[in-house]
Chains A and B, each alone.
Chain A
Amino acid sequence: MSVNQQAHTGPPYGQPQPGYQGYQQPAYGGQSLPGAPQSQYGAYNGPMPGYQQPVPPQGYFPSLGFPSKGSPVSLNSDTSSLAPNFIGSLRAPPTSGAPPPVSGASHPSGHVAYSQFEHGDVQNGIPASAAPVQRPPASQPFLPGSAPTPVSQISTFQQYGPPPASVQQLRNHMAGMTIGCTAASAPPPAGLGYASVPPVSGSFSATGSGLYTPYSASQGPPLTSVSQGLPLVQPPFPGQTISTQRLPTQVPGFTPPPPSTGVGPSSYPPTTGAPRPPAMPGPPLPGQTVAGPPSSQPNHVSSPPPPSTMAGLHPGPPMSGLHGPPPPNHPPQPGYQMQQNGSFGQMRGPQPNYGGAYPGAPNYGSPPGPPPPPKRLDPDSIPSPIQVIEDDRNNRGSEPFVTGVRGQVPPLVTTNFLVKDQGNASPRYIRCTSYNIPCTSDMAKQSQVPLAAVIKPLATLPPEETLPYLVDHGESGPVRCNRCKAYMCPFMQFIEGGRRFQCCFCSCVTEVPPHYFQHLDHTGKRVDFYDRPELSLGSYEFLATVDYCKNNKFPSPPAFIFMIDVSYNAVKSGLVRLICEELKSLLDYLPREGNMEESAIRVGFVTYNKVLHFYNVKSSLAQPQMMVVSDVADMFVPLLDGFLVNVNESRTVIASLLDQIPEMFADTRETETVFAPVIQAGLEALKAADCAGKLFIFHTSLPIAEAPGKLKNRDDRKLINTDKEKTLFQPQTSFYNNLAKDCVAQGCCVDLFLFPNQYLDVATLGVVPYQTGGSIYKYAYFQLETDQYRFLNDLRKDVQKEVGFDAVMRVRTSTGIRATDFFGAFYMSNTTDVEMAGLDCDKTITVEFKHDDKLSEDSGALLQCALLYTSCAGQRRLRIHNLSLNCCTQLADLYRNCETDTLINYLAKHAYRGVLSSPVKTVRDALINQCAQILACYRKNCASPSSAGQLILPECMKLLPVYLNCVLKSDVLQPGPEVTTDDRAYIRQLVTSMDVAETNVFFYPRLLPLTKADVDSDSLPAAIRNSEERLSKGDIYLLENGLNIFVWVGVNVQQSLIQNLFGVSSFSQISNALSTLPVLENPFSKKVRSIVDTLQGQRSRYMKLIIVKQEDKLEMLFKHFLVEDKSLSGGASYVDFLCHMHKEIRQLLS
């Protein structure tokens, strides 16, 4: 939400773009010739904003390119183009493209599932094309590479086939173009394209789409495994685009390049190189400033295909466009260039040249812009998240996942499945990046695949699954290994007739305590194996003895303290009244344990502005008593008895208090607030009561009142993209870190609800919630009418959800690996223990492992996560999760057992932490680099030999590029102009605690066509990919990312649908201000609302509902979440990024 649309600015793009551009150019060259497309685009443009225009052209281009191969398609697209054109056109190409790739990708050798991988799953259409013949099955684009689709695709393939034939790997979509290119013929087209390009470039620039295109272009290239074709193609594009946009920076160089590119393939490298650099840097910037970029976006959406060509160009342009092409370009360029270089070796040289060329280019840009739309990879032919999710759902959703086998890869998080615990922890508790760990650290280093586990120790289970059993080992406490202190688990080996057991982690032999002794059966299993959860299950709980308690004393039940800001802002917005009203009923739903009749949790109340007000709500009082503490410099708790009370006993007093609080402060004129003292007060209260607990703080403004922890407004957008950008994520003062430490020591967890009207420094205020395992909720510009429902839902969930206090988590591993790094909301005082004042069912900790020795394939690797915590009834417990993993000596095994969603979860958290210490650009570069290495390693070691120009992705990681691109484009790593500093800090902290399912949908939002929903069934409509070209003007779509739900309404939606859903008669009457859908009695409205409810139910936070009308202002916001498209802030489109990735990989391989 906060992130808003522009997440990713130049950096990521920059890198990819350059590369892309290079690629694209060649493609363009080939395609560009078809001037026709451009004209078509022009048409498109008309309807659509600038962006669209470019897109269409692209789409056309591809078609053009196709024409040679499969002209019909392109034609079709063209014809269809006009309004819907983009989509239509796009789709058309994709389909065609897709099939080919699939077929091509999946070599016979590849198994259905793995095929892609094995083959290096050539993503490119090309491979598909090659494959097509063989693998029709891979009906789905590349991703599957699987044969299935082949049939349909086949046709397309065939089309492609001819041209590609030469190039076996389908350079697929882009391929269309590239393919052509690949052949000797290809270059020429490119050249032609280029020739035309200049004009094209003009168009690019105009479109701004240029920016976007880069990616696509890049993708194109990668796809086009054909090295020659691609590079050639791409270079031209970049050159073009670049020239237009980057004129300023690269001006001189660029202009020349375009021509050169145009000339011939050989020329490409240089040209490409040149264009790229410029494109990279320049584009992003210019893109933003210039109107061009927007146009480019449309392009992407509508005409992904062209992007390939365009892309190359675009990357640059967009950038430039954004920033004000000229100046900005330069700065970005450097960074980009680097990347580009990495990816595109050749490019480097050219870049400088481009500079020169560009100047000329600019001119080109504007004029030609529209027409040139180059060809693109067919988006349908590149790995589709939707398809992967759908396949997994179909293949694995029906049968329970039984955890008995070591190293099993669980179904995807998006799949609905049941888990049967047979000795390993459910994937709901632990997910790993890989379930097959390299035996040696050398292998691990070579692959660069991070070994990490995403652990959600208190995850909520569906009702069908049983909660972990509670085991009581009596007074002596849980049975543990003598040496490493691992807890009894299914992997412990009992020996000597059961008198001893050997630790599965450290191999130490420990005596079995007499009370725990049991005989073994003939297989060496204990006779009571099935009676004891700790011997037969992966997850279970131990009852802790007093030795496991603080100060050797059993804990008292925890307390909740509600601390409400009653400064002017809070009172005036109606917030205070709202909270008080809600608390009255909410207090009856405090979490309680199992079947207890009432919650053991005690509650307390504090209000504050510049001073703090404590309330005595002792049951014996007729009226609550207020105690004001103004000594905020030295906070203390003014009362002992009566502050924390049992809700039932003090019901009337509490009700009276909650009635009076809004009245008491109704006339307040106090605008200043304190913050740190509020936390201190809560902390002191818990200390005084000698219990753990949670503070719910409702806060509205930057704490500027004189007090410890007082903050300054230090927001400075000028720091973005500088080396000092990291300071925006760092707390202003170390005061809060120290405070957090104290809180953790006491078990004082802080949940923070923020209602800012301006900057309030989330980065600093969030320190304590973050380090104590709490949550932050942020409602910017809170308005009672629109936001109260969301806030109240969040509050309810937050108060009611299961939570453990005073928690310490330790992850033990078998010899050979070691937990080395932790990500999440917690505090660590040493290197092994994760301490959390509070841990709720939604909090996730990501743990990274490193080798410190060799592992053996036989014994595999074991993880044991032990969480010591105090339950909400005050019981001290240990929750144990065990997981066994396989080990491998072959890299292929590693790549075959990876989970991309988890990988992304880890990568995102790692990168988000990185921004605290490194410039954002560095972080992005590192991310791209790591992923390139992962993929390159696969390509080098696991994939069957194939052309260097072919992009081959492991089956399990085929979504890595698209997801990674989403991470790179996220608000933290690439903020757009509307993303506030607070938003970024907020997102950063949010993501750090997310589980895999949450990061999945957060980075790749779910887009559902509502109009396609079956009103008679419970199911959700099939999701579609996040690209504007997938949207039809006549439909209504829903997009959710875990924070927001957008309902997008096309301009051409039938009036009846609008009437049914919104209760108004026309499109124009739909109000943007709606925060909920009106309750109307008709099937469509019901269905949509039930879909919304279903989605809300799946998320830990209530999502904000935003109605977006096509062509409305808000649409920009919405488009930001169409993550396969080029983003306004400079984020690359999927296709472009894929191309870039490919280039990076190739560079690594060469």
Chain B
Amino acid sequence: MATYLEFIQQNEERDGVRFSWNVWPSSRLEATRMVVPLACLLTPLKERLDLPPVQYEPVLCSRPTCKAVLNPLCQVDYRAKLWACNFCFQRNQFPPAYAGISEVNQPAELMPQFSTIEYIVQRGPQTPLIFLYVVDTCLEEEDLQALKESLQMSLSLLPPDALVGLITFGRMVQVHELSCEGISKSYVFRGTKDLTAKQIQDMLGLSRPAVPMQQGRPLQTPDQPVISSRFLQPVHKIDMNLTDLLGELQRDPWPVTQGKRPLRSTGVALSIAVGLLEGTFPNTGARIMLFTGGPPTQGPGMVVGDELKTPIRSWHDIEKDNARFMKKATKHYETLANRSAANGHCIDIYACALDQTGLLEMKCCANLTGGHMVMGDSFNTSLFKQTFQRVFSKGYNGEFRMAFGANLDVKTSRELKIAGAIGPCISLNAKGPCVSENELGIGGTSQWKICSLDPSTTLAIYFEVVNQHNAPIPQGGRGAVQFVTHYQHSSTQKRIRVTTIARNWADAQTQLQHIEAAFDQEAAAVLMARLGVYRAESEEGPDVLRWLDRQLIRLCQKFGQYNKDDPNSFRLSESFSLYPQFIFHLRRSPFLQVFNNSPDESSYYRHHFARQDLTQSLIMIQPILYAYSFHGPPEPVLLDSSSILPDRILLMDTFFQIVIYLGETIAQWQKAGYQDMPEYENFKHLLQAPLDDAQEILQTRFPMPRYIHTEHGGSQARFLLSKVNPSQTHNNLYAWGQVSNGGAAHDWECL
């Protein structure tokens, strides 16, 4: 099946799309029997070195309900200068600019290699990027200092014309006015009072006073920048001022008595940040970057009271319905997230504390707006510092790896309907003929808003085959899907990326082997995992696991080959062989298991799982384990306790952690100092190899993983031991054999 693998890989490279099935069952009935839904992982802004954007507007289908973009799959009548939409079959006249086209003179969008194409369009005013820092001042002195330095450093990483703003909070919330010289000004808000957007704007003096209105329009336009500029200023103008301001930031001065948490008004601070941007720059790319060092303890959005003797809610409390602030807080943050998303602003959360910080309640802020969520122990760690720095990293062409205010529009040919999407997006509630009534993920729409995305942001999009069994598709018929992504590029340009893909239909009854061969088990695993995690957000854990199990069993039933009552006869084809293993690890993963994880951690893991691309998602599901030894070159080994050997160095990448584990012998050698002896240089190299590899991962990963260097018997070794399949334990020495089979068989028995 090398051809399919190549095909899949090619498609991913070119279009950033991976479908669970690359040959589609041609009827609804058959599609449902396939168990794994027809779905794809879409990376809308996949980095394409070879994709020069074109500088004109896309040509749209003239049917108002369609508006598909002209693409290589369209039939073109060069003589009549007509093209037929491949989604609605509308015949369209080319616009005048296309008068000169012919078979040999094709515009880019008609060439097959441009199944993905990017347009730069001139629409509306270009507004610089906006970064609004929302900084917690209830931090330890050390943490605050580190955070201040990080923030100051970040100023140099911002585009010079970017607008920055600063809000600090503790017991009160301060919105700093950056335009003034000399005396520094800030607007202060009580941290306990829930303010409406209007109130906030009134209090910040953002509402347009009635006077200029009367004086006519001319005054309004000049007024607006003046108003907004008080709080949001171009970096290059107030670089120095802001650096000083940050330098002078003090810890929240209000006394915190013994046995109390500091009063932290995160909820109000975010509310004000959202209100501020809403009033000044609606529908413009903007990041609200929240830096918090603890849970919100007062006002709307409070997660825990200020009494230290009352611990912050745990999963146990939540199950017992004992988390008294959770629902209210969640609602508060959801409202904010939705408002923010509606205006195209994203919210990042950088939470650094040893205890929980309320990510569970606040997660929607990042999840719905495409913001980052970073969790660390302290702002004074390289984990935070480098992660934060990486937010501003630049791509191959020197452009920031961030885009804003994306609007993803999905169009399908008639046999397909859209069931939903899972990812850092919100629904735009665009109903249409291609929207399915069955929802998977965020459904009921063919358009989603992604307030912030980067080249790796990946959405799972689920489809439903609606073609009836008795209406066969003609041989060679292809189904098509078009993804149209409008977004604001980091250069503030408005761009549109259009990806059009097509797949063959196949009759599952007669051509099942084609369909089977075209199964992308990696994509399928991730897509199923996303569904599972999505369900886990709202359902009880065991229900989700049972659902996953049942799905796996049904898949194996459908595609496995076995003799009844003979477990050993069970075989899966190569294209399915890894799938059960993925699901096995998924069941054990922190995305579905909350045991030993705080609610915050769960939220954090799930957040990242729902936005990373396929490769990273797989790493999250099933961590990668490499072995380094004198017996040969580094090799991936099974994520199994049997892989732990005394003379090996193991490197495990779980996405969130990178663990280097020295086997018992290796560790002894290292203690003995062999690596420093010239005659054992090869040992030195052996020790170095995993470090280098780890470094490579650390360089690219966002957020920075926790880096753990440990050895046999070390306390940190638990990170490794908790992940590997416990096929060998101190009381269990017999091997389980094939993990996938084992898992499956186990489930089998349960049934």
Taking the nearest CB of chain B, how far is it from the CB of A629, in angstroms? 5
B185 in the interface, Cβ–Cβ < 8 Å? yes
- Tell whether B724 is near chain A: CB-to-CB under 8 Å: no
> Which of B183, B186, B189 gathers most chain A CB within 10 Å?
B183
Query: In the complex the two chains form, is B185's CB within 8 Å of A636's CB?
Result: no
Spell out B's residues near A (CB within 8 Å): 172, 174, 177, 180, 182-190, 193, 195, 199, 202-205, 248, 250, 253-255
Contacts of A626 in B (CB 8 A): 183-186
Is A636 a contact of B190 with CB atoms below 8 Å? Answer: yes
Write the A350-366 contact mask toward B (1 if CB under 8 angstroms, else 0). Answer: 00000000000000000
Which chain A residues numbered 623 to 652 have a C-beta less than 8 Å away from chain B? 623-631, 634, 636, 638-642
Which residues of chain A in 273-311 are interfacial with respect to chain B, using CB atoms and an 8 Å cutoff?
Answer: none
Give B203's nearest chain A residue, CB to CB. A630
B253 and A611 within 8 A (CB): no
Does A1071 reach chain B (CB closer than 8 Å)? Answer: no
A640 touches B254 (CB 8 A): yes
- In chain A, positions 476-493 with a C-beta closer than 8 Å to chain B are none
Question: Is the CB–CB distance between B182 and A623 below 8 Å?
Answer: yes
Q: Are B183 and A621 neighbours in the complex by a CB distance under 8 Å?
A: no
Q: Does A660 contact B (CB under 8 A)?
A: yes
Please tell me if the beta carbons of A631 and B184 are within 8 angstroms of each other in the complex. Answer: no
Contacts of B205 in A (CB 8 A): 611, 630
Asked if residues B188 and A629 are in contact (CB atoms below 8 Å), the reply is yes
Question: In whole angstroms, how far apart are the Cα atoms of A638 and B188 in the complex?
Answer: 6
**Residue numbers in A under 8 Å from B186 (CB-CB):** 625-628
In the complex, which of the residues B182, B188, B248, B255 contacts A628, with contact meaning CB atoms closer than 8 Å? B188
Q: Is A638's CB under 8 angstroms from B203's CB? A: no
Residue A401 interfacial (CB < 8 Å): no
Q: Is the CB of A634 within 8 A of B190?
A: yes
Which B residues lie within 8 Å of A596 (CB)? none
CB pair A621 B204 closer than 8 Å: no
Q: Tell me whether A630 and B202 are in contact (CB under 8 A).
A: yes
Residues of A within 8 A of B190 (CB): 631, 634, 636
CA distance A1146 to B180 in the complex (A): 77
Query: CA A304 – CA B204 in complex, angstroms?
Result: 67
CB distance from B662 to the nearest CB of A (A): 50
B183 with A623: CB separation less than 8 A: yes
Per the bound structure, the CA–CA distance linking A629 and B193 in Å amounts to 13
Q: Determine whether the beta carbon of A631 is less than 8 Å from that of B172.
A: no
Report the bound CA distance from A624 to B182 in whole Å.
8
- In the complex, A636→B202 CA distance in Å? 17
Docked complex Cα distance between A627 and B253 (Å): 14
Nearest CB of A to B300, in Å? 14
- In chain A, positions 603-633 with a C-beta closer than 8 Å to chain B are 611, 613-614, 621-631
Among A622, A634, A641, A656, the residue within 8 A (CB) of B253 is A641
Contact B174 A627 (CB under 8 A): yes
Q: Which A residues are in CB contact (< 8 Å) with B185?
A: 613, 625-628
Contact yes or no, B187 A628, CB < 8 A: yes
* Cβ–Cβ < 8 Å partners of A657 in chain B: 183
Contact A627 B183 (CB under 8 A): no
Residues of A with C-beta under 8 A to B182: 623, 660
Which residues of chain B have C-beta atoms less than 8 A from A624's C-beta? 183
Find A625's partner among B172, B184, B202, B204 (CB 8 Å cutoff).
B184
Q: A636-B172, A639-B253, A640-B254 are in contact. Are A629 and B187 (CB under 8 A)?
A: yes
* Residue among A631, A641, A642 facing the most chain B CB atoms (10 A cut-off): A631
- With A and B bound together, what is the CA distance between A611 and B204 in angstroms? 10
Residues of A within 8 A of B (CB): 611, 613-614, 621-631, 634, 636, 638-642, 656-657, 660, 664
A638 to B255, alpha carbons, bound, how many Å? Answer: 13
Question: Bound complex: CA of A902 vs CA of B713, how far in Å?
Answer: 96
13 pairs, CB–CB < 8 Å, chain A vs chain B: A621-B248, A625-B183, A625-B184, A626-B183, A626-B184, A627-B185, A627-B188, A628-B185, A628-B187, A630-B202, A631-B189, A640-B254, A642-B253
> Which chain A residue has the least Cβ–Cβ distance from B202?
A630
Q: How far is the CB of A932 from chain B (nearest CB, A)?
A: 60
Q: Are A614's CB and B188's CB within 8 A? A: yes
Closest 3 CB pairs of A and B: A630-B203, A638-B188, A641-B253
Q: How far is the CB of B106 from chain A (nearest CB, A)?
A: 60
For residue A622, which residues in chain B have a CB less than 8 angstroms away from its CB? 248
Given contacts A622-B248, A628-B186, 16 further A-B contacts (CB under 8 A): A611-B205, A621-B248, A625-B185, A625-B186, A627-B187, A628-B185, A628-B188, A629-B188, A630-B187, A630-B202, A631-B193, A631-B203, A640-B253, A640-B255, A657-B183, A664-B183
A613 CB to nearest B CB, Å = 8
Contact A611 B203 (CB under 8 A): yes
Chain B nearest CB from A705 CB (Å) reads: 11
Chain B nearest CB, measured from A483 CB (Å): 42
A625: B residues at CB distance < 8 A: 183-186, 248
Please report the C-alpha to C-alpha distance between residue A622 and residue B435 in the assembled complex, in whole angstroms: 61
Assembly CA distance A312 to B188 (angstroms): 68
Among residues of A, the one whose C-beta sits closest to the C-beta of B187 is A628
In the assembled complex, the CB of A667 is this many whole angstroms from the nearest CB of chain B, namely 12
What residue in chain B is nearest A615 (Cβ atoms)?
Answer: B183
A657 to B182: give the CA distance in the assembly, Å: 10
Residues of A within 8 A of B174 (CB): 627, 638
Chain B residues in 8 Å Cβ range of A641: 250, 253
A638 / chain B contacts, CB cutoff of 8 Å: 172, 174, 188
Residues of A within 8 A of B248 (CB): 621-622, 625
CB-CB < 8 A to A629: which residues of B?
187-189
The residues of B that contact A639 with a CB separation of less than 8 Å are: 172, 188, 253
> Across the two chains, which residue of chain B brings its CB closest to A624?
B183
CA distance A613 to B185 in the complex (A): 9
Complex interface: chain B residues within 8 A of A628 (CB)? 177, 185-188
Q: What is the distance, in angstroms, from B715's C-beta to the closest C-beta of chain A?
A: 42
A660 to B180, CA, bound (A): 12
* With A627-B174, A640-B253, A640-B254: A634-B193 Cβ-Cβ less than 8 Å: yes
User: Chain B's nearest CB lies how many Å from the CB of A557?
Assistant: 19
Q: In the complex, which residue of chain A has the Cβ closest to the Cβ of B199?
A: A631
Bound-state Cα–Cα, A629 to B204, Å: 9
**Residues of chain A contacted by B184 (CB below 8 angstroms):** 623, 625-626
- A621's nearest neighbour on chain B, judged by CB, is B248
Shortest B262–chain A CB gap in Å is: 13
Interfacial chain A residues near B202, Cβ < 8 Å: 630
Of all chain A residues, the one with the shortest Cβ separation from B193 is: A634
CA A623 to CA B193, docked complex, whole Å: 30
Neighbouring B residues of A613 by C-beta, 8 Å: 185
> Bound state CA distance, A628 and B204, in angstroms?
9
A625→B177 CA distance, assembly (Å): 11
Q: Give bound CA distance, A623 to B183, whole Å.
A: 6
Task: With both chains docked as a complex, state the minimum distance between the C-beta of A17 and any C-beta of chain B, in angstroms.
Answer: 55
Closest-CB distance, B141 to chain A (whole angstroms): 15
A630 to B175, CA, bound (A): 11
- Chain B residues near A623 (CB-CB < 8 A): 182-184
Partner of A630, one of B172, B204, B254, B255: B204
Q: Determine the residue in chain B with the shortest Cβ distance to A630.
A: B203
Which of the listed residues B177, B184, B254, B255 has the most CB atoms from chain A within 10 Å of its own CB?
B184
**In chain B, what residue has the closest Cβ to A610?**
B205
CA distance A641 to B248 in the complex (A): 14
Bound-state Cα–Cα, A563 to B453, Å: 49
Please, how many angstroms separate the alpha-carbon atoms of A638 and B174 in the complex?
9
In the complex, A627→B180 CA distance in Å?
A: 13
* Contacting residues, chain B, for A621 (C-beta < 8 A): 248
Task: Please give, as numbers and ranges, the residues of chain B lying within 8 Å of A611 by CB-CB distance.
Answer: 203, 205
Closest to B253 in A: A641
The residue on A at minimum CB distance from B177 is A628
In the bound complex, residues from chain A placing their C-beta under 8 Å from that of B183 are: 623-626, 656-657, 660, 664
A639 to B253, CA, bound (A): 8
A657 and B202 alpha carbons, distance in the complex (Å): 26
A642 contacts across to B, CB distance below 8 A: 253
Distance, CA A642 to CA B184, complexed state (A)? 14
Of the listed residues A614, A623, A638, A664, the one surrounded by the most CB atoms of chain B closer than 10 A to its CB is A638
Q: Please, how many angstroms separate the alpha-carbon atoms of A636 and B187 in the complex? A: 12
Chain A, residue nearest B191 (CB): A636
